[in-house]
Structure 1
């Protein structure tokens, strides 16, 4: 259970030469917030917001950060806004293997290690796996070596026809869930690299006999409280529901883009099987 190297993160997608005004307007429109509503949230005026967006007024560094906060702009894009306004980036992007993030790495390793025997992993903004526990390793048994070459990518491993996809009993439903998740991320981050990954995994073929979305393994509608991942392992069908956790108020781009995904057994049989398999 060790952190693996990942490719360098993409540079901010918002070019500084575009100017901060159009960028802020784009974020405001994306959030479907009026100039007046944003002004009220940011303790400003609609007139000043209008002047900023049209370039008639240069916002202070504090105003850029305040507007970004109220528009829920991702940390990486906040740096891009600051650059476009003529200010230095506020948030560093520290490599995860840097000693400065040693406490973060150790904490994440303890967290997912303590979740065993249930599967858990940490991914970055591009779904590259940075660390995974033994529960994940068990589910990856039998995956061809080329797909396991670093950097491991969670989306590729899950949806590739030579990866986990043939073992997923509700592939259409789970695939639809993952693609929708990626679409939300693309809308948030506007990343060409994430878009390329989405187009790649979205083009993977789906077996003709895979059940339609919404069905669990072709049977009656699932009684679970959330969409389960139904996956076969050594002849047994295991059932999981997943949850994703991120850091609150991150001050580093790398940390802001980390996500911990844990897979909770959705039934007693799955829990018992995992405890027995890893005892």
Structure 2
């Protein structure tokens, strides 16, 4: 297990703070911070909380900071099927169901699909994707890549998103590895649209979609903090008409 000084230095460098920057942000002296980073001083539980707030440390890392300093972890990580998660599951299901006939899904921190609405099941089911499947595997699948008309653009923006999410969490090897693979195909796009769509090739037709991402705002559980709801919208009238037609057929 890492010790507290190492974890503190990691997060300070991850956030690109100097010792002085962090000391000012956390409202402590730079001398005190230096002693904490060298192990000359042991932090109180309140100081661990104060520093993790200043560094915007995610909940799982806050627990590691606490345990490395000799304190009990503060934030639970409930299982998806726990009774206390029922309101969360209901909120996700309601959001996804209301989004039909447009596709929507819920992802965890490793891009594993936790929930899909019916349009998403139809759309991604072609590739054998179901709840519990990994979107990281899907976006690295050559079969899917061949069906995306603007794959180099999509690869570029997907790699940027993966790296951004990894950095926010202090580094997630699975996301970084996927970003490295996608970067080999990536081509930055010209910013001629307000949002870069993903253009799927469906026989003689195309389906152009862009996405939005929602998260829970006030979280006190590792599992909830990680969840993202991704909702896809038609980027043009043709895509909207096609999604509505598919909903009627099914």
TM-score, normalised by the number of residues in structure 2: 0.90
CA distance in 2, matches of 1:93, 1:243: 26
CA distance in 2, matches of 1:53, 1:28: 10
Which residue does 1:177 correspond to in 2?
A: 157
- Residue 167 of structure 1 pairs with residue 151 of structure 2: no
* Superposed displacement of residue 262, structure 1: 1.0
Name which of 25, 47, 56 aligns with 1:72. Answer: 56
* Superposed displacement of residue 95, structure 1: 0.5
Q: Is the 8 A contact 1:170 1:213 kept in 2?
A: no
The structure with the greater share of residues assigned to helix is: 2
- Residue 37 of structure 1 pairs with residue 37 of structure 2: no
Equivalent residue pairs, number:
247
CA distance in 2, matches of 1:40, 1:182: 30
* Superposed displacement of residue 204, structure 1: 11
Distance change (3 Å), C-alpha of 1:277 and 1:214: same
Which residue does 2:32 correspond to in 1?
A: 48
Which residue does 1:213 correspond to in 2?
A: 187
- Residue 247 of structure 1 pairs with residue 216 of structure 2: yes
Q: Is the 8 A contact 2:160 2:179 kept in 1?
A: no
* Superposed displacement of residue 142, structure 1: 2.8
Q: Structure 1 regions of 5+ residues with no counterpart? A: 1-14, 207-211, 216-220
Q: Deviations over 1:92-126 (max 9, x none)?
A: 01001111100000110000110111111100011
Q: CA RMSD in A?
A: 2.2
Name which of 212, 220, 231 aligns with 1:262. Answer: 231
Q: Structure 2 regions of 5+ residues with no counterpart? A: none
* Superposed displacement of residue 276, structure 1: 2.1
* Superposed displacement of residue 186, structure 1: 3.0
TM-score, normalised by the number of residues in structure 1: 0.81
Q: Is the 8 A contact 2:96 2:104 kept in 1?
A: yes
Q: Deviations over 1:145-198 (max 9, x none)?
A: 4xx366311122233013x22210011111121122222333334334445555
